Amino acid sequence: MDILSLLTPIYFVLVFVGIVVGIIFGSIPGLTATMAIAVCLPLTYGLNLNMSLALLLGLYVGGISGGLVPAILLKIPGTPSSIATTFDGHPMHQKGEGELALRTGIVASLFGGVFSAAVLFFFAPALADMAIKFSYVEKFLIIFFALTVIASLSKRVLVGLFSGALGVWISLIGTYDTTVGGNGDTRLMFDFMEPYLADGFSLLPVLIGVFGLSTILQEAAQGVKGGGLAGMALSHRTRFSLRVFKGQMVNLIRSSSIGTFVGILPGIGGSAASVLAYTQQKNFSKEPAKMGTGVPEGIIASESSNNGLTGGALIPLLSLGIPGDSTTAVMIAAFTLQGVQVGPLFIGENPQTWDMIIVSLLVANLFMFVVMFFAIKYIIKVIMVPKHILYPGIIVMCVIGAYAINSGIMFDVWTLLLFGLFGYIAEKLGLEIAPFIMGFILGRSAELYFVKSLESFGNLTIFFTKSPIAMLLWVLIALSIGYSFYSVMKTNHQAKGANGG
Amino acid sequence: MKKLTLGVCLALGGLIGATTAGMAADKMIEGNLRVVIGSNATSGDTYQVSAIVTEALGKKLGVDAKVDAVGPSAAFKALARVTDGTTIMIFHDQSYLGYLYGIKGYDDIFADYMVGPTLAINPGNGYLVPKKSPYKTLEDAIVAAGKGTKVRVAIQPGGVSEIGFSALKNAVKLRFPGQEGNMVAVNTGSQADKDQLLFDGQADIINGSVQANEQYTRLPAEDQKAMSFVWLTASHKAIAEARAEGFGKTSRDELLKFVEPNVNVTQDGKKNFVFDKDFFIIYNKNMKPELVAYFDKALQEIYAEGKIATAEKAAFFTPNFLPTAEAQPYLKNKMNDYGTIIKAIRQ
Amino acid sequence: MGSGFTQLFDVHIEFSQSHLVFPAIVGWVLVVLFGAIVVVYGPGLVREFRSGKRSLALGGGDFDKFRFLATIALTIAYFQSMEVVGGFFPNKGFGFLIMSIPVMFLFSLLFVHGLTARKLVVIGLNAVILPSVAWYVLKELFRVSLP
C-alpha cells in the first residue's frame, strides 16, 4: 500500500491530539512525557499500529517540548530533560524577555527534532551497531564524562563537586536492585527504614520537590509578596526574530548531536542530554561568563538537545528492540500490545511502519512548532496569575505527578515534601542544586556500570585499555575538565576586569 | 481547538470506559478494583497478561478495574493493607523464587499472603548462545562444564531468570559430581544487558526469551548479534498448546526442538527439569473466603467463554486457568521442587 | 592476572558485598571534598560568623515565619489526610479530590495579601474547579492512579 494513502485526516488528528495533550502534560510541573504515553497507552487498543504510533509519537514530541514552558516561566523543569532550560530561560524571563526565550526554545526544539528524525532515517542500523560496541566499561566512562560537567556547572567548583557527590550518594539509598543485576541488598539506611526506603527515591518527585516545592517554600518564607509572578516588566518586550540564531549553527548541530547520541545509548538516562549539551556550549562559548545570566544560546543548547533525544532514543528501540530512554521504554508496550516485535529485523520486515514512524516524527515536530509558536501569546499569560492562585495549583499538580509516576505510591508524595525542604535548606547552606540533580540522575547508572565492569574484568586498568572508544572517551573527559577549569579562570578574569573597570 | 481536543479525548475515553454488566447484580467489590503487579514496566509480559485478565475481570464484575505497575515490594505492601478485595496482585513464579533465593522484600507467599488462581503461562523463557558458539546444544555446554571448562551464563539474579541456571548447575552436579563450580553465573539486569554481554564475549550462554530474542536468531551467522536458542524451559505441553504459528517467523514446531524431551536437564537423575512461567493472582491473607469464591467464579466464567484464550494466545501466552483450590497445591509443589534444587547447589 | 604492573590494580568484588562498594567510594569522596571545603572556605566563614555578617537563624529580617511553617504544616496535613480519606473509597481518587479542595482554599488564603470579597470568590472557585477538573480529566478520562 502506498504510504500517502495512510496519511488520512484521522491520522493528522491523532498526531495533533498527541501533540496538544503532550504539550499540556509536558508543561504542567509534575506531569511528564513518559506519563502522557503511559496513560494514553490503553487508548491505542482500538487503533492499528500506525495510528497508535502517530498518537504516541505526538505525545512524545509534545511532552518533551512542553517542558520548556514552566522551565522558563516558573523555573521548574516541566519534564526532567528541560532542566538546563531553566539556567538561562528563567533569567531571560526575569529580564522581561520571556516571550523571546520561549520562541527561541521552540525553534531550537524544532531543529533538534527534525535533525534527530533525519539521523534516525539515514543511520539507524549503523548507529545501532555502534551502540552495541558500548559495554559496561564504555558506558561508565560516558557517565563519568557527564559527571565531569558538574565542575563547569558550578559557581564554586569545590562546592559544586560536593553537591554532585551528595546527589550520587542520595541516589544510592535503597536496594541494589536485582532487576538491574544487583544483589538485592539495601544500603545507606538503618533496618527500621527498610519498609519505606527499599525502592529509594524516584527522580520525578525529587526533581519537582527540589525545583517546584522548594521555590514555593522560599516564597512562603519571604511572605509571598507581589501579585503576579511578573514583577517582570512585560512592557519592554524584545521581539523574536531569527537573528537570535545568528552564529548559533554550530551550537544547534552540536547540541542536537549530543542529544541524539545520548538517546542512542541505552541506560545513560535521557535527562543528562540537555545538561551535557548546555555545558559543552558553555565550554565552547565566546562568552562563557554570560551563560546562566539569560542568554539565548543556553536555551538553544538545551532545547535542541532534548528534542534531538527523541529520534536518538528510537534508534535502539527500532533496530535492537531496546528502548533508549524511559519514555521509549513505555512506547515498546504499544508494539507488544499490537503483537509486533521490535528487534534487529524490525525495520526490514515492517518497511511501511518504519516509513510511517519517520513521517509521524516529522509531522509531530511541525505540529509542535505551529501549536506552540502560536499558543505562546496565551501561555505567557500564566505569569499574570496571582501567586496565591498559582502556587496552590502547582502544589496540587505536583502531588498528582508524584503519586502517579510509579502508578500510585504514597511514599513518592512524601519524597516530594522531603526534597522540597531539602532544596530550601540546601539553598540556605550554599549547596548547588543543578550539580546535585546531575549527581542524583546519574548516580545509579554510574554505580552499576562501575561495579559490573570490575566484576567482569577484575582490574582497574580495564577502564583505560578496554577499547579505542574507551581511550577516546578519556580524551574527551580530559578536555572537558580542562575546558571547565579554563573557563572558570576566564570567567574570574573577566569578572575581575569588570570590577576593575 | 481546545474543544476539539476535549471532544476527541472524550470519544477515546468513552471507547475504553464502556463496560458491560456480567455479574454486576450481586456485586461484592465496593469502589474500583486495583490490580497491582510485581513489575514496574508496562512493556513486560506481566503487564500484558494482567491487562488482558483485568479488562475481562472488570467487565465481568461490572467494576472499573485498572492495572498498576508498581513493582514487587510496593505491590506486596499495597496488598498487605487491603483486605476487602479492592486491591489484588498478579505476579508470576518470581514471587516465591525471590523468597527461595533469599532476596530482600520477598516473603513466603503461602504464609503471609493467599495464593489465588493461575491465569496463563508465558512459554517463552529460554537460553541462547551466539550462532558461532562452540556449544551447538545445551548438552555440549553441560558436558563441557563437566569436563572442566568454565561456562558463563548471563542471568538476572534471584528469580525466574536464575532458576534455569540453577537447574543447569544442579544437572552438572548430578552427572559430574564436583564439577558444578564450572557453571558460573554472570549477574546482570535487563535483556539488553544480557544481550550486550553475549556480544562482548563476556558470557557463553544468556537467559532470554522467544519474545525478545527471536529476531536475533534469524540473523546471518556472520552478524555479531546473531544468536541461537539452545533451551526453552517450558514444559512440552505449554509450547504444544501455544499459538500454532509460533512467534515471529519461528514456528511452533521449530520451538519444540528446544523443549524437553528434545533437551534434557535432569532434576534428580530421573525426572527432567521444566519451568513454566505461571501468572497467578495473590490475595491479602485475610480476604474473606466468599470473595475468593467470587473471583474464582468470575474467572471460571471468563475462561469458559473462551474469548480470553484467543487474546492470551495472540500475545503468545498459553492459557492455564486453575481455580484457587487447585492452584495452591500446584504452585506449592513447584516451589518445593525448585527449593530442593536451590538447596542442593548451595551445599 | 596480567603482568606485575597491572596486578597492582587487581580488584575482586564479592557479589554478596557488591552493594557496598560504590557507596563506600562516594562516601570517601564526600569526606575528602568536605575537608577541602572546610580548608578553603572555613576561615572566611568563621570570620563572617564572628562579625555577625552570617548567622544560622533560618531567615533574615524579612523572614515570614508564620507563612513558612504554616505551608509545611498544611502540606503534611494534606498528604496525610489524602491517604486516609482515600481509604474509604477504594481506588476512586476521592481522597485527592475531597482533600485538595479545602487545602487549596487554605493555601490561597495563606498566600494572599489584601483579601477582598472579589479575591475570595476567585480563590473559592479556583479551589473547587482546578481539583475537580484535574480529577475528572486525569482520573476518569486518562485513568491516572490517584489516592
Could you give the domains of chain B? 32-122+277-344 (3.40.190.150), 125-275 (3.40.190.10)
Q: Cell triple for residue A157?
A: 567548583
Clarify whether residues C78 and C132 are in a common domain: yes
Query: Do the chains contact at B70 and A43, CB–CB below 8 Å?
Result: no
Mean pLDDT of C4-32: 90
Prior bond of B261 cis (ω within 30°)? yes
User: Which residue does chain B place closest to C14, by CA atoms?
Assistant: B187
For chain B, how many residues are written? Answer: 347
Residue B166 CB partners (closer than 8 Å, separation 6+): B338, B341, B342, B345
Using CB atoms, which residue from B1, B68, B211 is nearest to A408? B68
Using CB atoms, which residue from C18, C37, C82 is nearest to A159? C37
Clarify whether residues C77 and C115 are in a common domain: yes
Clarify whether residues C106 and C134 are in a common domain: yes
Mean pLDDT of B113-135: 97
Tell me the CB-side half-sphere exposure of residue C107, using CA atoms within 13 A.
32
Within the 71-130 window of chain A, which residues sit less than 8 Å (CB to CB) from chain B?
129
**pLDDT tens-digit profile of A409-438?**
999 999 999 999 999 999 888 899 989 999
Clarify whether residues C18 and C78 are in a common domain: no
**Cβ-contact B202, A456 below 8 angstroms:** yes
Clarify whether residues C111 and C136 are in a common domain: yes
A175: left (phi over 0), alpha (psi -120 to 50) or beta: beta
CA distances to A19, A39, A93, A386, B273 from A85, rounded to whole Å, are 20, 26, 11, 24, 56
User: What are the phi and psi torsion angles at B206 (to 5°)?
Assistant: -125, 150
Residues in chain C with CB shorter than 8 Å from the CB of B68 are 145
pLDDT of residue A485: 75
Least confident of A224-233, B249-258, B313-322: A224-233
**pLDDT tens-digit profile of A47-82?**
889 999 999 999 999 999 999 999 999 999 988 889
**Calpha distance C7→C11 (Å, rounded):** 9
**Cβ-contact B16, B73 below 8 angstroms:** no
Residue A406 lies in a domain: no
Interface A-B, measured as beta-carbon pairs within 8 A, has a size of 147
Residue C113 lies in a domain: yes
Residue C146 lies in a domain: no
Clarify whether residues C33 and C79 are in a common domain: no
Residue A80 lies in a domain: yes
Query: Do the chains contact at B200 and A343, CB–CB below 8 Å?
Result: no
Could you tell me what percent of chain B has a pLDDT over 90?
86
**pLDDT tens-digit profile of C33-73?**
999 999 998 888 888 878 876 666 555 557 899 999 999 99
Residue C47 lies in a domain: yes
Q: What is the ipTM of this complex?
A: 0.92
Between residues A23 and A487, the one the model is more confident about: A23
Band the pLDDT of A238: cuts 50, 70, 90: low
Band the pLDDT of B245: cuts 50, 70, 90: confident
Residue C52 lies in a domain: yes
| Helical residues (DSSP H) of B158-259, grouped into ranges | 160-175, 191-200, 210-217, 236-240, 252-256
Residue A468 lies in a domain: yes
Count CB-CB contacts under 10 A for residue C57. 7
Least confident of A102-116, A326-340, A384-398, B270-284: A326-340
Band the pLDDT of C1: cuts 50, 70, 90: very low
- Secondary structure class of A490 (helix, strand, coil): helix
Query: Do the chains contact at B31 and C90, CB–CB below 8 Å?
Result: yes
- Whether the pLDDT of residue C2 is over 60: the answer is no
Least confident of A163-177, B240-254, C5-19: C5-19
Q: Shortest CA distance to A346 belongs to which of B249, B312, B227?
A: B249
Geometric angle at alpha carbon A102, from A98 and A104, rounded to 5°: 115
Clarify whether residues C72 and C114 are in a common domain: yes
Residue A247 lies in a domain: yes
Q: Shortest CA distance to A316 belongs to which of B193, B324, B219?
A: B193
Beta strands at B205-209 and B151-155: parallel, antiparallel or unpaired: parallel
Count CB-CB contacts under 10 A for residue A131. 21
Residue A204 lies in a domain: no
Widest CA span in chain C: 83
- Whether the pLDDT of residue B49 is over 50: the answer is yes
**Calpha distance B84→B283 (Å, rounded):** 10
pLDDT of residue B9: 44
Query: Do the chains contact at A454 and C9, CB–CB below 8 Å?
Result: no
Between residues B249 and A488, the one the model is more confident about: B249
Geometric angle at alpha carbon C66, from C64 and C68, rounded to 5°: 70
> What letters, b where the CB count within 10 A reaches 16 and e where it falls short, cover A287-309?
ebbbbbebbbbbbbbbbbbbbbb
**Calpha distance A484→B311 (Å, rounded):** 57
Using CB atoms, which residue from A45, A181, A456 is nearest to B189? A181
Using CB atoms, which residue from C1, C62, C144 is nearest to A222? C62
Residues in chain B with CB shorter than 8 Å from the CB of A43 are 12-13, 15-16
Torsion angle (degrees, nearest 10) of CA A436, A439, A440, A446: -170
Residue C79 lies in a domain: yes
Clarify whether residues C93 and C124 are in a common domain: yes
**Calpha distance B287→B284 (Å, rounded):** 5
pLDDT of residue B8: 45
**Calpha distance A493→A482 (Å, rounded):** 16
Q: Treating both helix axes as pointing N-terminal to C-terminal, what angle do C65-88 and C94-111 enclose, rounded to 10 degrees?
A: 170
User: What are the phi and psi torsion angles at A240 (to 5°)?
Assistant: -80, 135
Using CB atoms, which residue from B16, B70, B215 is nearest to A406? B70
Number of structural domains (chain A) is 1
Interface A-C, measured as beta-carbon pairs within 8 A, has a size of 188
pLDDT of residue A30: 83
Query: Do the chains contact at C15 and B187, CB–CB below 8 Å?
Result: yes
pLDDT of residue A80: 85
pLDDT of residue A1: 54
Clarify whether residues C16 and C47 are in a common domain: yes
| B84 Cβ under 8 Å from any chain C Cβ | yes
**Residue B83 DSSP one-character state:** -
**Calpha distance A316→A325 (Å, rounded):** 10
User: What are the phi and psi torsion angles at B87 (to 5°)?
Assistant: -125, 120
**Residue A198 DSSP one-character state:** T
Residue A34 CB partners (closer than 8 Å, separation 6+): A63, A326, A327, A330, A405
Structural domain including C37 reads: 1-56
Least confident of A11-25, A249-263, A337-351, C85-99: A337-351
Q: Which of C10, C25, C56 is the last residue of a domain?
A: C56
Could you tell me what percent of chain A has a pLDDT over 90?
58
Q: Which of C9, C38, C56 is the last residue of a domain?
A: C56
Residue C88 lies in a domain: yes
Place of cell 495473590: B282
- Whether the pLDDT of residue B71 is over 90: the answer is yes
- Burial class of A374 by CB neighbour count within 10 A (0 to 12, 13 to 18, 19+): exposed
User: Which residue does chain A place closest to C32, by CA atoms?
Assistant: A162
User: Which residue does chain B place closest to A175, by CA atoms?
Assistant: B104
- Whether the pLDDT of residue A88 is over 60: the answer is yes
Residue A115 CB partners (closer than 8 Å, separation 6+): A252, A253, A256, A257, A260, A304, A308, A311
**Calpha distance A443→C39 (Å, rounded):** 27
Band the pLDDT of A491: cuts 50, 70, 90: low
Band the pLDDT of A356: cuts 50, 70, 90: very high
| B68 Cβ under 8 Å from any chain C Cβ | yes
pLDDT of residue B257: 96
Structural domain including A355 reads: 3-196+236-393+432-500
Residue A227 lies in a domain: no
**pLDDT tens-digit profile of A275-332?**
889 988 988 888 888 888 999 999 999 999 999 999 999 999 999 988 888 888 888 8
| Helical residues (DSSP H) of A350-461, grouped into ranges | 351-379, 387-405, 410-429, 433-457
- Whether the pLDDT of residue A361 is over 70: the answer is yes
pLDDT of residue B82: 93
> What letters, b where the CB count within 10 A reaches 16 and e where it falls short, cover A89-114?
bbbbbbbbbbbbbbbbbbbbbbbbbb
Number of structural domains (chain C) is 2
**Residue A135 DSSP one-character state:** -
Geometric angle at alpha carbon B178, from B172 and B184, rounded to 5°: 55
Query: Do the chains contact at C90 and B30, CB–CB below 8 Å?
Result: yes
**Cβ-contact B278, B53 below 8 angstroms:** no
Distance of CA C14 to the CA centre of its chain: 36
Residue C32 lies in a domain: yes
- List chains touching B (3+ CB pairs under 8 A): A, C
The type of residue at A415 is: T
Residue A186 lies in a domain: yes
Residue A444 lies in a domain: yes
